[in-house]
Structure 1
Amino acid sequence: MNSIEKIIHENCVLLNVEAYDQHDILSQLSDALYKQGFVKDTFKHAVLEREAEFPTGLPLVSIGVAIPHTDAYHVARTGIGVAILKKPVEFSVMGSPDDKVHVSIILMLAMNDGKKQIELLQRLMEFFQKEEKLLVLKDMKNEKEIAAYLETEIF
């Protein structure tokens, strides 16, 4: 991963955002990534379809997170959209779609290289295991600060 290129742009960080459901927040994040030129116009539909078939909710000890993503074909350049929700929304659990988790933090991956996507997923799983870092993230009040924090912690 090239840490010189900014992957998390502050305009793709949705802070204290309200969403009615998973479809709503995935649409909002997709739109933010599209406006910044990270994804193609096909991305939103593709990520919604993939989430329905392969859910990405992760129930951690004190907080639920989700890492929605889709095929590299729908991505213009690598980026990550971040949403920290005002109130959690329900996602299906990764690997166990009948189970539900209330998600407060979403990191939407837009990766234009499948191999790097696997590497990023591994880094995210390591980050998620340090739950105190997630709680710090959840309490942050500034988009630029969140983008910088994640860039430092993940890359």
Structure 2
Amino acid sequence: MNSFEKIIQENCVLLNVEANDQNDILSKLSDTLYKHGFVKDTFKNAVLEREAQFPTGLPLTSVGVAIPHTDAHHVARTAIGVAILKKPVEFSVMGSPGDKVHASIILMLAMDDGKKQIELLQSLMEFFQKEEKLLALKEMKSEKEIAAYLESQIF
């Protein structure tokens, strides 16, 4: 999937980050993507609103994950913001908002093309089904290592 090359930059990886709740981590990741020119100033509010209406938490076997995203018109350049949390925060489950998941890995998608976003979501779902890969990701010690690993595994 060469169309996704180099969209995970180490300067958009937050490692061992603390967050009070889902809005806190969504704000931190949005601010990071904005600071590096990947998203427009409308992105943060759009992500927060979308997450409230269409949750993105995924209750996987060993690690909770969330994949927040919003519409392409809030994105300047395609990127993925990554957060590996010190302590998990609660997200509502995708497709089942009454259920909750404690997510410790957040992959915030900032895609400037809706069609590519669907392709990326499919690739991510394949990746998430491999529990050992998620556990390996959670144990990584540097932003550079995480960015390179995700690039090699997802794309």
Report Cα offsets for 1:52-92 as digits up to 9, x if no partner. Answer: 00000000001100000000000001000000000000000
Residue 122 of structure 1 and its aligned partner are, at CA, apart by 0.1
Q: 1:22 maps to which residue?
A: 22
Partner Cα distance (1:2, 1:128) in 2: 20
Structure 2 partner of 1:105? 105
Equivalent position amino acid for 1:10 in 2:
E
Q: How far does residue 6 in structure 1 lie from its aligned partner after superposition?
A: 1.7
Q: d(CA) in 1 for partners of 2:71 and 2:2?
A: 20
Query: In structure 2, how many angstroms separate the alpha carbons of the residues matched to 1:2 and 1:23?
Result: 32
Q: Is the 8 A contact 2:14 2:143 kept in 1?
A: yes
Q: 2:152, 2:63 → 1: CA distance? A: 21
Sort the Cα spacing of 1:51 and 1:4 in 2 relative to 1 into closer, same or farther, 3 A. Answer: closer
In structure 1, the residue matched to 2:116 is 116
Where in structure 1 do 4 or more consecutive aligned residues deviate above 4 Å?
A: none
Aligned to 1:32: 32
**Distance in 1 (alpha carbons) for counterparts of 2:4 and 2:100:** 37
Q: Which runs of 5+ in 2 are unaligned?
A: none
Cα shift at 1:136:
0.2
When the two chains are superposed, the root-mean-square deviation of aligned CA atoms in Å is: 1.0
Q: TM-score when scaled to structure 1?
A: 0.98
CA spacing shift, 1:135–1:43, aligned 2, 3 Å: same
Do structure 1's residue 62 and structure 2's residue 62 form an aligned pair?
yes
Query: Which aligned pairs between 1:78-93 and structure 2 lie closer than 5 A?
Result: 78-93=78-93
Which one-letter code corresponds to 1:90 in the other structure?
Answer: E
Per the alignment, residue 125 of structure 2 pairs with 125
Q: In the alignment, what sits opposite 1:143?
A: 143
Residue type of the alignment partner of 1:32? T
Q: How far 1:37 sits from its partner (Å)?
A: 0.8
TM-fit CA distance, 1:4: 7.6
- How many percent of aligned residue pairs carry the same amino acid? 86
Instruction: Give the aligned partner of residue 52 of structure 2.
Output: 52
In structure 1, give the amino acid aligned to 2:120.
Answer: L
Q: TM-score, normalised by structure 2?
A: 0.98
Check conservation: 2:5, 2:151, Cα contact below 8 A.
no
Q: Please give the secondary structure, in 2, of the residue aligned with 1:91.
A: strand
SS at match of 2:91: strand
Distance 1:20 1:4, change over 3 A: closer
